[in-house]
Structure formats: structure tokens, C-alpha cells
């Protein structure tokens, strides 16, 4: 065998060895568990206590919102409504509280049946400036993690900014998962017209299921396309089996905690929200492919 042939074979063998090693490492990373991902070891009593703390905070928001509503009613009797102060409510949650509340509420509202066949043990993790959503993807036998950097832009719109996607401990380039994003958005866009048409808010301020589905679908579609969205948060009112919309005016994420500032919507603002949902969103409702960013 000539010298150059030996060198060529050695080079090919070395490349195959490197490729094999990289493939092996990638597979290990893909099926690895991120260091921060942990199933809760809390007892049932501890989970109940955490869910109760979150529930009490939501109740507190509703109580303050009711007080603000009454203050507005009194203000209208004595002064022009345009001079009313913009009153807000600030509340903080730990990720343990949010996870315990979500687990209890998803069972209570039968949300779990909508995702349980795809994702197991979903959790929320709060890091400085970041919200991480993760869960065990049943079909892929891996833990998928999606990282967001939430903020409000100069127009007050909510920008969740998808920053990273992980399969296990392996970073996944967004172009690789974009076809899956398209499948998700196509399914939601097929359902959006019916949700938009049926969207309404009851006299007591509770949003119906169609409005919530339409609003959250637009949030997801716009986030996947890198676009800001309407800063609306639906606050659960457990004793009424209802959800009340509020405007997000501030969000700060720290180490295992989240602080949100919201402003309750008055009647005209709730109607404006319904009108926005009924109107066509050129980004969320369009079936044309979004331009690459």
C-alpha cells in the first residue's frame, strides 16, 4: 500500500472515530438530565401548603381588584373618569408555589388530559431574568427545556423572547425545531377563527373559554415567531371556576421567584380586549410563513 493511501485511510478512520465519539456524546447529552431538573421531593402536605399559598395570593389579587373597582365607581361619581389614578397590584410567587398550584389546578380543570399524552412531569424553574419550562417528552424519551427571557417592550407589549431549546443537556438549534413550530401554529390557526368568534367576557369580568384559548394561542404563535404580544394574564378565581383578565405592567424574574405587577381591567378595557380578539391579527392569524429573523 502506498504511503498516501495509508495516510488517506488513517485520516478517514480518524474522522469516523471523531464522528462516532461526537454522535455518542450527543446521544448521551440528548438523553441526559439537566442539573437543575428535579422532580419534586416535597410531601403531599408540603405541596398542598405551596398550592394554598399561591391560591391565597390570587385571592389577594382579586380582593384588591375588587377594592380598586369600588374606588373607581366612587371616583366616577365625584370626578371625570379620565383623571382616575392607574392602580396596580404586585405579587410574588416562588417556582415551588407555581408548580404546586399548576399541578392542582390542571387536575381541577382537566387541563392535564390535554398534555399528559405528550409531556410528563412538566415543571417551571425561575432563574434571574429567565423562565424555564421543562418536561419529559414521552415519544422522544428525553427532557425538553424551553427558556424564555420575559420583558415588556417600549409599547408595553409582552416579549417572552425564546432564547434556548434543550433536548436533555443538548442545545437544539431553533432552525432544527422550526418545522415543529409550524405544525403547532398551523393547528392553532385552524382553531382560532372559531375561538375568536365565540370570545366574550361575562358581566362579572370572567373571560369565557374561547377568549382564553384565542388569547393564549396568539401568545404562543407570536412568541414562536419572535414577536411581542398582548400583555394579558388570566387570573384564576378558583371558587368561581373562572379566569379574569388583567394587564401585565411589570415582570421581574429572580432566583426561584417571580414578581408580576398587574392592572385590573375596567369595563371599557375588557371590551377593548374582546374587540382585539375578534379582530384579525396579521401575524398570529396569517397562514403565510413568517419571515426568518
Shared domain check, 126 and 13: no
Shared domain check, 52 and 107: yes
Shared domain check, 173 and 234: yes
Whether the model pTM is above 0.85? no
Residue 71 lies in a domain: yes
Spatial separation of the C-alpha atoms in residues 64 and 54, rounded to whole Å: 15
Give the helix/strand (H/E) hosting 248: strand 242-254
Shared domain check, 75 and 216: yes
The total of structural domains in the chain comes to 2
Shared domain check, 150 and 75: yes
Shared domain check, 90 and 4: no
Are 93 and 57 in contact by the 8 Å Cβ rule? The answer is yes
Residue 285 lies in a domain: no
The predicted pLDDT at position 208 comes to 94
The predicted pLDDT at position 292 comes to 53
Which residue blocks in 160-208 are alpha helix, DSSP H? 174-198
The predicted pLDDT at position 176 comes to 79
Residue 284 lies in a domain: no
Shared domain check, 73 and 213: yes
Shared domain check, 99 and 21: no
Residues of the chain below pLDDT 50:
22-24, 81, 83, 85
- For residue 287, give the nearest of 188, 217, 212 by alpha carbon: 188
Residues of the domain holding 1 = 1-30
Amino acid at each position: 500500500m502506498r504511503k498516501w493511501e495509508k495516510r488517506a485511510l488513517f485520516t478517514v478512520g480518524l474522522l469516523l472515530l471523531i464522528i462516532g465519539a461526537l454522535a455518542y456524546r450527543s446521544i448521551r447529552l440528548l438523553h441526559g438530565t439537566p442539573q437543575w431538573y428535579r422532580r419534586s421531593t416535597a410531601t403531599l402536605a408540603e405541596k398542598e401548603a405551596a398550592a394554598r399559598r399561591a391560591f391565597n395570593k390570587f385571592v389577594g389579587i382579586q380582593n384588591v381588584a375588587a377594592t380598586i373597582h369600588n374606588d373607581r365607581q366612587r371616583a366616577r361619581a365625584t370626578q371625570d373618569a379620565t383623571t382616575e389614578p392607574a392602580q396596580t397590584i404586585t405579587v410574588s410567587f416562588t417556582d415551588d408555589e407555581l408548580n404546586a398550584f399548576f399541578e392542582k389546578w390542571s387536575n381541577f380543570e382537566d387541563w392535564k388530559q390535554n398534555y399528559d399524552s405528550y409531556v410528563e412531569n412538566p415543571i417551571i424553574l425561575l432563574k434571574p431574568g429567565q423562565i424555564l419550562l421543562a418536561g419529559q417528552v414521552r415519544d422522544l424519551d428525553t427532557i425538553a427545556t424551553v427558556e424564555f427571557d420575559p420583558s415588556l417592550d417600549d409599547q408595553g407589549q409582552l416579549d417572552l423572547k425564546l432564547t434556548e431549546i434543550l433536548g436533555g443537556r443538548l442545545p437544539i438549534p431553533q432552525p432544527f425545531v422550526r418545522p415543529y413550530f409550524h405544525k403547532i401554529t398551523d393547528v392553532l390557526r385552524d382553531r382560532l377563527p372559531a375561538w375568536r368568534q365565540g370570545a366574550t367576557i361575562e358581566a362579572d369580568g370572567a373571560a369565557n373559554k374561547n377568549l382564553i384559548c384565542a388569547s393564549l394561542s396568539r401568545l404562543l404563535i407570536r412568541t414562536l415567531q419572535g414577536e411581542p404580544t398582548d400583555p394579558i394574564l388570566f387570573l384564576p378565581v378558583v371558587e368561581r371556576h373562572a379566569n379574569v383578565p388583567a394587564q401585565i405592567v411589570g415582570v421581574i424574574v429572580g432566583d426561584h421567584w417571580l414578581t408580576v405587577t398587574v392592572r385590573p381591567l375596567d369595563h371599557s378595557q375588557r371590551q377593548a380586549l374582546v374587540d382585539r380578539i375578534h379582530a384579525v391579527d396579521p401575524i398570529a392569524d396569517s397562514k403565510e410563513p413568517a419571515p426568518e429573523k
